[in-house]
Amino acid sequence: MSNQPITGKKVIFEKQWIFLDNAVGQLYSTTFEILSGGNLKPHELKDSASPLDAVEAGTDNRNIVDDGKSQKLTRDDIEALKEKGLKGQDIIKKLVDNHATFGDKTEYSQVKYIKKKKKKYENTVMILKPSCRILAMMYHGREPGKICHLRYDTLAQMLTLANIHAGSKVLVFETCAGLVLGSIMERMGGYGSVIQMYPGGGPVRAGVESFGFPAHFHDTLHEFPICHVNALLAGTLDTSAKDPTAENTDEKQLNLAAEKEQNQPEAEEQGTPEEESMETNTGDDAGQDVEKTEKDKLKEAKAQVKKLRLEEKQRRLAATAALLKGRNADGLVIASRFHPCPVLLGLLKFLSPSRPFVVYSQYIEPLVECFKKLRECGGTVNLRLTDTWMRHYQVLPDRTHPLLLMSGGGGYLLSGTTVATDHSKPAGSKQAEEPAPKRQKLEDTEG
């Protein structure tokens, strides 16, 4: 849950509005009952009898015909029970009692039927503590396009292959709504440095806000625009550069002030023959002057705020550039919708030798190109291009089996390790240093 106050805030969940006021101060994993009006009430567990206690189970389902006539209660009858104030457990009991073939179902089918009806009629919700696994499953199930179809098992492999741990300095370039960035911050536990390389005008961190990190976690987070990487590597980055829009506004203000000074003596000379008309409009002019001064003050305040934001942005840029100049990062993680090859080749230069890197892509072709390019350039070893395969299993007594439906693909990963390269030696020096093979002497033996 977020650290921001949520008093009076409405949240939509499963097509229903919920007020979270009564959830503040409660423990995570608490089950709440949704009352009328969307208010939450902690759910009290009662030792009520199960609908299966007094029902005998059949041996098999071969004689059951799903013709829709087994249930005697209609939709109107169920709605009438809800209006009377019956709870979900009572409605399920009514459904079981009025089901003609419920006793002929096997025990497993009866449990499955009860579970399905509980999900439909029991109006309860459980609030869980946000974590990397829960958020990854939520994004992948509801909005996979926002995270580049990154599956949660693939994300777990990325964190392992990149050796993410507390106290390390990690470079991240991702366009997955901040999910990968938040997962790395969670794994590091608020210790170390995370440098987010972002495209465009600013970083996107919607997923990071969903984690609800404490304030000191954000102190370890830094940002750097990907468009300034080449300038930083070349040593031509100017962190004190001014915003061109701010310079244009300053020039406009100077021009306006000069025009006012030029027009002031002309207005004084032309004002003598029109003194009578000026006196009649003094009231209107005074009101207009007040409005102008208020607008000018508002513009000055906005300009001041913009200037402060620009100074803060330049200060953060200079601090992050100082971290990157050491070129001693401990890991690199890339997961974006852009082609990874130029990004990977540029950011690998900031890693220390013997450090891991991992690149995710929904498609294999961009990673194949990266693989070939890294083999040509050198400086990396243990290159591996893998895909992930995952299938869920139902594990229950006497009915353990794989589920029929499974995810079609979880993307592809390119991982490897950086090594130090000595560019001072010529290409043929390695062959020159190797000793010449010794000639084997053959002794003639007399037979």
Dump pLDDT digits (tens) for 275-300. Answer: 545 454 555 656 666 777 888 888 88
| H-state helical runs in 212-281 | 215-218, 229-234, 244-270, 275-280
305: left (phi over 0), alpha (psi -120 to 50) or beta: alpha
Report the distance separating Cα 84 and Cα 81, nearest Å: 5
The crossing angle, in degrees rounded to 10, of helices 244-270 and 282-325 is 160
Which DSSP state fits 425? S
pLDDT in tens, 372-404: 999 999 999 999 999 988 888 989 888 899 988
- pLDDT score of 383: 95
- pLDDT-derived band at 221 (thresholds 50, 70, 90) equals very high
- Whether the CB-CB separation of 166 and 192 falls below 8 Å is answered with yes
Output the pTM of the full model.
Answer: 0.74
